[in-house]
Amino acid sequence: MTLKISNRFRIAGLALPLAATLTRPATAEESAPRGASWPTTNPEDQGLPADLADQIDARVATETPLLSALLVVRGGQLVVERYYNGFQAEETFAAWSVAKSITTIAAGIAFRKGLFTDLDQTLGELMPDRIPAEADPRVQDITL
């Protein structure tokens, strides 16, 4: 269920609903003040197919017809920005469970990079200095 765009860039089935709630970048380095714009570029300038937006539109129509928005950012530049079902860029989107998806992705990246070795490691083992002193004592026993 993955649309192969290139060997280095893929849009997975998870990415489509996840992107539905993201209208601007999350990191401070990449974020723009409300009302400002990201720098934009053409897909081919980022090594992507020129018809990337058309490929995305075709998948959205058949696989995720309730999608509100999808943005593709590569190299710190906005490559594709699409809105569906009457939604517009100026609207605020409900994030619902996106945080859980992003946390899971981040945990997977951290695991792959060897930042932890076992999903049963506790927060107390992994980052004891990041747990506030006033936190519930059970927090240190939370596992990934």
pLDDT of 16-70, one tens digit each? 333 333 333 334 344 444 445 789 999 999 999 999 999 999 999 999 998 999 9
Residue 85 near residue 66 (C-beta atoms within 8 A): yes
Tell me, what's the pLDDT at 36?
A: 56
Report d(CA 23, CA 48) in Å as an integer.
Answer: 21
Give the distance between the most distant pair of CA atoms in the chain.
53
Which helix (DSSP H) or strand (DSSP E) does residue 92 occupy?
none
Closest to 102 measured CA to CA, from 10, 34, 19, 23: 19
- Better-scored residue on pLDDT, 119 or 124: 124
pLDDT of 57-116, one tens digit each? 999 999 999 899 999 999 889 999 999 999 998 888 777 777 888 888 888 898 999 988
Report d(CA 51, CA 96) in Å as an integer.
Answer: 30
